[in-house]
Amino acid sequence: MENEEEIVELEKEILECISQRKVQKLRQLFEEYPIIDIAEALDNVENIADLLFVFRVVSSDYTAELFVELTDAQQENLIAAFGDKQLIELVKNSYADDIADYLEDMPANLVSRVLKAADPQLRADVNQLLNYKENTAGSIMTTEYLSFNKNETVESTIEKIRENGRDAETILTIFVRDNSRNLVGTVNLDDLVFAKKEQILSEIMDIDFVTVSVNTDQEEVAHLFKRYDLNVMAVVNATGKICGIITVDDVVDVMSQEAAEDIANLSNVSNIEDPYLETPVLKLVLKCAPWIIALMILQVFSSLILSNFQGEINKFAILSVFTPLITDSAGNSGGQTTGLMIRSIGLDEFHRGDWKKVIWKEFRVACTVALVVSIFAFGWLMLEMSTGIVQCRLSDYPSLNVSNDTVLHLLVALLVSVTLAVSIILSKTFGVILCWFSTKIKKDPAVMAEPLVTTLVDVTSLLTYFLIWSFVIGPFLGI
Amino acid sequence: MENEEEIVELEKEILECISQRKVQKLRQLFEEYPIIDIAEALDNVENIADLLFVFRVVSSDYTAELFVELTDAQQENLIAAFGDKQLIELVKNSYADDIADYLEDMPANLVSRVLKAADPQLRADVNQLLNYKENTAGSIMTTEYLSFNKNETVESTIEKIRENGRDAETILTIFVRDNSRNLVGTVNLDDLVFAKKEQILSEIMDIDFVTVSVNTDQEEVAHLFKRYDLNVMAVVNATGKICGIITVDDVVDVMSQEAAEDIANLSNVSNIEDPYLETPVLKLVLKCAPWIIALMILQVFSSLILSNFQGEINKFAILSVFTPLITDSAGNSGGQTTGLMIRSIGLDEFHRGDWKKVIWKEFRVACTVALVVSIFAFGWLMLEMSTGIVQCRLSDYPSLNVSNDTVLHLLVALLVSVTLAVSIILSKTFGVILCWFSTKIKKDPAVMAEPLVTTLVDVTSLLTYFLIWSFVIGPFLGI
């Protein structure tokens, strides 16, 4: 579903069930609709008695799932309001990674309430997960998985899954360890189900499995899932022992986070962890203002150049009309190159040795774009000046060494379009080289390359513009 | 793995096996390493005899998987070089959606060779898949799934899966239909395995499943997978009959494509379908140059304003030094807002009725950023002018109505920082309103909002700048 009208309808029904305390109907809605839709319908329920009613009457399989999807405020209020028995019930039905996720943002007294309600094993798991650094494999893995000795038979494995499987986050893949508890293979549930009962796991297991360490960056984890089309992956420690698993649904979340991070970086916003509407105004200001200020400081170089050529502008004010056109076009061209590179890096298109080809290719692209754009610009500027959109009249500059307006227009259009050509080639070349360099030093090009390209490009394009003016066009015009 | 050295090592081993025709060792490598790593190691093998050798000696389970991962050129050469028997073997071991994928870019004679090698059912499936519009659920779904009548018992279902399951892309979820073949539920393999043998499917099936139609956009499909934490989803036709399934690994690919598309759009590059290195230079130029030209045309408004205020610049050239600072800062601020909005829209944070809150919040952010940035800018400009980085001397403008350089600097700094404050507030407000508007008319804000914001912001900030100058600061200075 996730159809606007259906959600509105569901919201109405649920709120009615709650306000009129209709137990049967409410239970039925929990069976019929995905939990996330129900959570969204409950988004604006702030009365804690209403939420408690839901948690009391609906089966705890559903409510544990629901709890994860509620807003932070709702979660905190519920934990504070739950009786001990309810809390134990909730924790018992939750996965360790989910508990760790919502504890991360809670006040200490509520955290200790939740941990007290967990049994020792679960508490140890949650504590361990809370200690992994953010954005690593450790922080997104879960500790509820199934692993068996490689000499176990298919029959006894199935029997054990039947007994214990319900606590695992996935039983679709089981992990096989040797006698020293190192991970040596994986078995998919379907292979297990269709194997002969007396076979042992080492006969049917796959050995070309992929693992990561607890400290691997989550972006790398997502990359491996994509590359190897995985549904689940083991996280191992330094000695090769399995300490958790990551399932593909967690990776789907990581991927949207990482894409969001790239977009924020490209737009010069520092990374935001919380949803926009839950982030306070001042925090948003802190993510935005420093970048604007930093970019303003970097502009000191352009100001320096413009200030040094004030004399030229004084003599021929029309020059200042075209500076934004030149710096913007060059900046946009450089931005296209860094965008293309960031895109390809994200799609994992470039491997060892490819960069030389990439730089050469982008250089050829740059030359062609420069040619096309500057030819267009020449015509466009002639049009702007001849129609008077941009006023460039010989009568305003009586001392000039040319015979009529058209010659003047031709020279100005030539100046601007040659500058554009040079700037576009430089900006695209800078762009690709800076992206190569930032991957080389293992920095994110979206953070580093963009502002640097803009600054470099502003400086070089303004310099080109005023130098061509001062040494070629200006003297020719007799200025 | 996917560790640079290991891949280099693997490449060496494979190329050695091929050149020395070591059959056993080659087969062993295919068992030990993921196919994608092997495909990458074979990336530069162009000799068709070498590739044919691999396809001849390695089991066709592996080579069918390998074929999908080869480069377009390698695939075409192989299809052309295969004997009929080899081609039939390849096609028999491939999934319909994979075949449709690689046929899409092949010359017609090779397409018809492949289709001839497929059995009638597979040929029909492939043909159907080739007909769905790109980027829809139909184009990424596969037709190999398992579905059973709701009255089937668990025992007979398991028996049938055992017989036919190997042809399905996933047997982890099976689909349950009623007597008129409409989809009525899903059963996970684990629920099936652990159910009592005599139960019927309708007793154990989940009914809160999510479906899409063949024409649903793939971005919406990815969004639903994320929202509902799905592993597989049914694609149904208008009457509710299942016509294919989409698995999460396809969605992971869609997500990176969509993220790449957002990045390209934000960087003003038209969407690129092929990997960068496989896209011809001229095609890349076509994706870049029109945008630069379009943005240049949009700049006609700023040129118009600058040209109209040439007189002012003539009288006080220092004005032109700060125009890039103002337009860039305002543009960057607006870009931050659109970036934040695109990020939140991608993460599905905004629902019905949220936009009013969002616009109000962003307005408050805008005012605060404007205040912070303009206070900083005031100090920064005073510093630039007093140190002479930007030369602003009373001696250059003898007719001015002020007593010393510092007063002049204060007035200029005031002009620029007030303009900055106004421009930042306007650009962020424009940004959020344009994003709201583009979602309202169901357009991608990354394509529409960015260039429009930049143009609007350039115009309004330049106008503010010159109007404050002409009506307040200029007259005060006696210009």
Q: CA-CA distance, B243 to B137, in Å (whole number)?
A: 11
Q: Given this model, what pLDDT does residue B1 score?
A: 43
Q: CA-CA distance, B431 to B358, in Å (whole number)?
A: 12
Q: What is the ipTM of this complex?
A: 0.76
Please judge whether A310 and B320 are an interchain contact, meaning their C-beta atoms are less than 8 angstroms apart.
Answer: yes
> Which residues of A fall within a CB distance of 8 Å from B351?
40, 43
> Which residues of A fall within a CB distance of 8 Å from B299?
324-325, 328
Q: How many CB atoms lie within 10 A of CB A334?
A: 31
User: A411: which 2 tokens?
Assistant: 């020279």
Which tens digit of pLDDT belongs to each residue from A97-117? 888 888 877 888 888 888 888
Which tens digit of pLDDT belongs to each residue from B55-98? 888 888 888 889 988 888 888 889 888 888 888 888 888 888 88
Higher pLDDT, B404 or B370: B370
Q: CA-CA distance, B241 to B235, in Å (whole number)?
A: 8
Nearest CB to A267: which of B207, B282, B339? Answer: B339
Q: CA-CA distance, A315 to B314, in Å (whole number)?
A: 8
> Which residues of B fall within a CB distance of 8 Å from A323?
320, 323-324
Nearest CB to B292: which of A255, A297, A332? Answer: A332
The whole-angstrom distance between A188's CA and the closest CA on chain B is 10
Q: What is the pTM of this model?
A: 0.77
Mean per-residue pLDDT for B299-314?
A: 87
Nearest C-alpha in A relative to B170 = A190
Average per-residue pLDDT for chain B: 87
- pLDDT-derived band at B374 (thresholds 50, 70, 90) equals very high
Residue A2: is its pLDDT beyond 60? no
The whole-angstrom distance between A21's CA and the closest CA on chain B is 23
Mean per-residue pLDDT for A8-29?
A: 88
Residue B192: is its pLDDT beyond 70? yes
Which tens digit of pLDDT belongs to each residue from B435-477? 999 888 888 787 777 778 888 888 999 999 999 999 999 888 8
Q: Which of A58, A278, A288 to mutate to test the interface with B (most CBs of B within 10 A)?
A: A288
For B184, the 3-state DSSP assignment is strand
> Which residues of A fall within a CB distance of 8 Å from B34?
208, 210, 228
Percent of chain A scoring above 90 in pLDDT: 25
Give me the residue label for tokens 């006023």. Answer: A391
Nearest CB to B34: which of A228, A277, A300? Answer: A228
> Which residues of B fall within a CB distance of 8 Å from A273?
none
Mean per-residue pLDDT for A40-58?
A: 87
Q: Please give the backbone phi and psi of residue A453, each rounded to the nearest 5 degrees, phi first.
A: -60, -45
For B175, the 3-state DSSP assignment is strand
CA distances from B235 to B94, B95, B147 (A): 21, 17, 13
Mean per-residue pLDDT for A47-65?
A: 88
Closest CA to B228 of B258, B208, B254, B244: B208
Mean per-residue pLDDT for A349-354?
A: 80
Q: Given this model, what pLDDT does residue A366 score?
A: 95
For A213, the 3-state DSSP assignment is strand
> Which residues of B fall within a CB distance of 8 Å from A295?
328-329, 332
Q: CA-CA distance, A323 to A44, in Å (whole number)?
A: 51
> Which residues of A fall within a CB distance of 8 Å from B352?
4, 7-8
Q: How far is CA A250 from the centre of its chain?
A: 14
The whole-angstrom distance between A271's CA and the closest CA on chain B is 10
Q: Given this model, what pLDDT does residue B183 score?
A: 92
Closest CA to B178 of B137, B228, B236, B248: B236
Pair B401, B477: CB distance under 8 Å: yes
Which tens digit of pLDDT belongs to each residue from B101-155? 888 778 888 888 888 888 888 888 888 888 888 888 988 888 888 889 999 999 9
Nearest CB to B227: which of A2, A346, A350? Answer: A2
Which tens digit of pLDDT belongs to each residue from A169-206? 777 889 999 988 899 999 988 888 888 889 999 999 98
- Which residues partner with A173 through β-bridges? A188
Residue B391: is its pLDDT beyond 70? yes
Residue A3: is its pLDDT beyond 70? no
Q: Please give the backbone phi and psi of residue A153, each rounded to the nearest 5 degrees, phi first.
A: -85, 160
Which tens digit of pLDDT belongs to each residue from B246-287? 988 888 888 888 888 888 888 888 877 788 888 889 998 998
Q: Given this model, what pLDDT does residue A1 score?
A: 43
The whole-angstrom distance between B210's CA and the closest CA on chain A is 6
Which tens digit of pLDDT belongs to each residue from A125-170? 888 888 888 888 988 888 888 889 999 999 999 888 887 766 677 7
Q: CA-CA distance, A276 to A290, in Å (whole number)?
A: 18
